[in-house]
Amino acid sequence: MAVGTTRMRAGARAVLYDMDDAVREVVHPLDGAVGLTQARGALRQEPSTSGLFASKDDASRMGKVTEEDLRGLPAAEITDVLREEIAASDSHLVAFDELTPYEADPRSPLVRNGRIPAPDPASPGAQLAQALTSLDTPSPYGGTWASRVHVYIAPAITSAIAAGRGPDRNLGRDGKARFRTYRTVMTGLARAGAVWIEAYHGRRRPLTSLTVAEWRTAPAAFTDEYQRAGGDPSKLHLLLTGADAYPAGALPASCITPMQCQWSLAESTPAGRAMLANGVGSYRLGSHARSWLAEWQQRLP
């Protein structure tokens, strides 16, 4: 193991949100290396037809509810949908895909050092937070119902929190509220079982990694906001992609390949190292699947 390489903690997880070819290379590498398994923390984001390509791997399949599925619903109905999906999932886990600016707090007035508006209890973010709070009760599958919900965080949220200034990370360089806040929905995220930060930009290939500057600021900025809402940092994870290009910005000498560079930059801050230690997920790795697995394997406890 390279000097300074982060070791993952016991129980680290890897959500594989990917196509069959990439997942197959992660769980059954062509070169004969030991791949990831359910016992080694792997989960497959459904829908898929193959799980982890192993017998009796149904418990590795994580269900999914999209933002569109829940859009416009009140908290009580969101609660019902999530509870039903958890019960129906083979793993009794479900992911919310994905948290976006739709769940942000109301916009602040565009004036210098303006006061942040009071939370709107009817807003989408408040409804989701209320639903997750109501699910914070024991489930028959272990833990709480809320702990069986994983949440993906859209890149726009992470980038905005990282770029924002001031105590609420909503101010631009001119001191005006240029960015939305997520204080309300964060109280719900604090009760979820895991939060997966999408560390890339784009919706279709080619996807790009976070920039060098974002890697240096985003993990700590998001962790601060999450902890302020009562969240446990051990639930925060990174979701990396198979970017063909290096992250934009001045690359450190530690960057050797585009995939290795993402892991190296994540490791460059204490907050990033903490997220790596919790386990790292994948999204559309493409031809970089084996490289992603090699980085994961280097950090096994």
- What's the pLDDT tens digit per position in 69-100? 999 999 999 999 999 999 999 999 999 999 99
Arithmetic mean of pLDDT, 263-267: 97
Q: What is the rounded distance in angstroms from the CA atom of residue 7 to the CA atom of residue 276?
A: 8
Q: What is the rounded distance in angstroms from the CA atom of residue 226 to the CA atom of residue 48?
A: 31
Taking a C-beta distance cutoff of 8 angstroms, is the pair 48, 15 a contact? Answer: no
Closest CA to 214 of 157, 286, 284, 289: 157
Q: What is the rounded distance in angstroms from the CA atom of residue 226 to the CA atom of residue 210?
A: 19
Q: Which residue has the tokens 């450190």?
A: 252
Arithmetic mean of pLDDT, 255-277: 97
Arithmetic mean of pLDDT, 239-246: 97
- Amino acid identity of residue 2, one-letter, is A
Q: What is the rounded distance in angstroms from the CA atom of residue 61 to the CA atom of residue 289?
A: 19
Find the helix or strand (DSSP H, E) in which 150 lies.
strand 149-153
Within 13 A of 244's CA, how many CA atoms are on the CB side?
A: 7
pLDDT grade, residue 138 (50/70/90)? very high
What is the per-residue pLDDT for 113?
Answer: 65
What is the per-residue pLDDT for 193?
Answer: 99
Q: What are the tens digits of pLDDT across the range 198-233?
A: 999 998 788 999 999 999 999 999 999 999 999 999
Closest CA to 267 of 277, 259, 253: 277
What is the per-residue pLDDT for 1?
Answer: 43
- Burial of 87 by CB count in 10 Å (0-12 exposed, 13-18 middle, 19+ buried)? middle
Find the helix or strand (DSSP H, E) in which 94 lies.
strand 94-99
Q: Where are the domains of the chain?
A: 14-298
**DSSP code at position 300:** -
Taking a C-beta distance cutoff of 8 angstroms, is the pair 177, 122 a contact? Answer: no
Q: What is the rounded distance in angstroms from the CA atom of residue 212 to the CA atom of residue 196?
A: 19
What is the per-residue pLDDT for 114?
Answer: 65
pLDDT grade, residue 247 (50/70/90)? very high
Residue positions counted in the chain: 301
DSSP H helices in the chain: 20-27, 67-70, 75-88, 124-134, 155-163, 183-189, 212-228, 258-266, 270-277, 289-298
What is the per-residue pLDDT for 4?
Answer: 62
Q: What is the rounded distance in angstroms from the CA atom of residue 205 to the CA atom of residue 113?
A: 39
What is the per-residue pLDDT for 301?
Answer: 76
Q: Phi/psi of residue 242, each to 5°?
A: -85, 65
Q: How many CB atoms lie within 10 A of CB 243?
A: 25
What percent of the chain clears pLDDT 90, i.e. is strictly above it? 86
pLDDT grade, residue 300 (50/70/90)? confident
* 14-17 and 42-45 strand pairing: parallel
User: The domain 14-298 is classified under which CATH number: 3.40.50, 3.20.20, 3.30.460, 3.30.70?
Assistant: 3.20.20
For the record, the structure tokens of 82 come out as: 């999530």
Taking a C-beta distance cutoff of 8 angstroms, is the pair 283, 240 a contact? Answer: yes
Q: What is the rounded distance in angstroms from the CA atom of residue 295 to the CA atom of residue 2?
A: 11
What is the per-residue pLDDT for 3?
Answer: 43
Mean per-residue pLDDT over the chain, rounded: 94
What percent of the chain clears pLDDT 70, i.e. is strictly above it? 97
Arithmetic mean of pLDDT, 279-291: 97
What is the per-residue pLDDT for 132?
Answer: 99
**DSSP code at position 8:** P
Arithmetic mean of pLDDT, 21-36: 95
